[in-house]
Amino acid sequence: MRRPMVAGNWKMHGTRASVAELLEGLSDQSLPDSVEVAVFPPLLFIDRVVEGLQNGKIAVGAQNCAVQAEQGALTGETASSQLVDAGCSLVLVGHSERRQVIGEGEQQLIEKFRAAQAAGLTPVLCIGETLEEREAGQTLNIVGSQLGSVIAALGIEAFTHAVIAYEPVWAIGTGLTATPQQAQDVHAAIRAQLTAADAKVAQAVRLLYGGSVKAANAAELFGMPDIDGGLIGGASLNADDFGAICRAAGN
């Protein structure tokens, strides 16, 4: 049995005041023990989020890490070992906004994935197709190649301590959610690809869906056999909505 996970990616949102308010709201939520809950605040707020979530029910992750695990001369970057020191246990790798807007390449994110694991962080590898790619019937090729390049570089064993998030780019922040069946089809293909490399690893790895998940559509998505939770953007900035999504994963 895979333990569902619901993770909130706050992206580049938050001020000291709004983060304090969100932390207060999160501490009021009743969260199911059966669900692993995590938040990914902007780096600037990691310290105060770790401190504010002292009860330990919500894990904290970073949205990015450097290509090297250890501290060094790399202006503006954050080593995964520093993230561990700050209290993080997870890190996002390869979010589409980083691939597309920042221009992060495959080789870079493979190095980040490796560096994260070297420091003891669990990487959450984000993969997904654009609208153009979906309309061209390329979804499974794109997602398969994004996953395949990490498997080829780091081996299937790397996925014993990793999470995968399928986030169709066209569904991110658009209000357009993949239907549960559309998401399930891609998740099943991802799991089949992992199974071809190692069936045991494939059965254990959590596959999260991300892209306009809301309290209203979460239960239906999470009810699909290969969807093990969600990576939530916009709705994770509202504690009540995020709490409701976490509870949907527990049912």
Q: Is 128 in the site for ligand 13P (CB under 6 A)?
A: no
Q: Is 232 in the site for ligand 13P (CB under 6 A)?
A: yes
Q: Which of 69, 84, 221, 231 binds ligand 13P (CB under 6 A)?
A: 231
For the bound state, the minimum distance from the C-beta of residue 141 to ligand 13P, rounded and expressed in Å, comes to: 21
Q: Which stretch binds ligand 13P (CB under 6 A): 76-84, 98-106, 183-191, 205-213?
A: 205-213
Q: Is 105 in the site for ligand 13P (CB under 6 A)?
A: no
Q: Is 173 in the site for ligand 13P (CB under 6 A)?
A: yes
Residues 6+ apart with CB under 8 A from 179: none
What is the distance in angstroms between the CA of the first residue and the CA of the last residue of the chain? 14
Q: Is 147 in the site for ligand 13P (CB under 6 A)?
A: no
Output DSSP code: residue 231. E
Q: Of 84, 94, 29, which Cα lies nearest the Cα of 60? A: 84
Q: Where are the alpha helices (DSSP H) in the chain?
A: 16-27, 46-52, 80-86, 96-97, 106-119, 131-135, 139-154, 180-197, 199-204, 215-222, 239-250
Q: How many residues bind ligand 13P (CB under 6 A)?
A: 14
Binding site: residue ranges?
9-11, 173, 212, 233-234
What does the binding site for ligand 13P look like in residue numbers (CB under 6 A)? Answer: 9, 95, 167, 172-173, 210-213, 231-235
